[in-house]
Amino acid sequence: MDKDLNIDNDILIALEEARPVLWDKTLEVFKSRNATRETWSQVSCELNEDFKEMESKEKNESRTFI
């Protein structure tokens, strides 16, 4: 796993803002761990096109950089 991921903060912010489940506490779905986990996976896939092919350990490590 390359620990020197260069993530553009503006892109990350835009990806998060486009997904209210990650930040809007007034939504019922905000409380769903499965929904937020799936949404973070979507964000991860957009930031790293190889994300789906990674092993579970690699996925967990890459999420720590987001």
Query: Each residue's pLDDT tens digit in the chain (66 positions)?
Result: 444 567 788 999 999 999 999 999 999 999 999 999 899 888 888 887 777 776 665 655 555 555
pLDDT in the model for residue 15: 95
Tokens of 63: 């999420």
Helix (H) or strand (E) holding 61: helix 56-63
Helix (H) or strand (E) holding 39: helix 33-47
pLDDT in the model for residue 2: 46
pLDDT in the model for residue 1: 42
Q: Is the dihedral of CA 46, 1, 23, 10 positive or negative?
A: negative
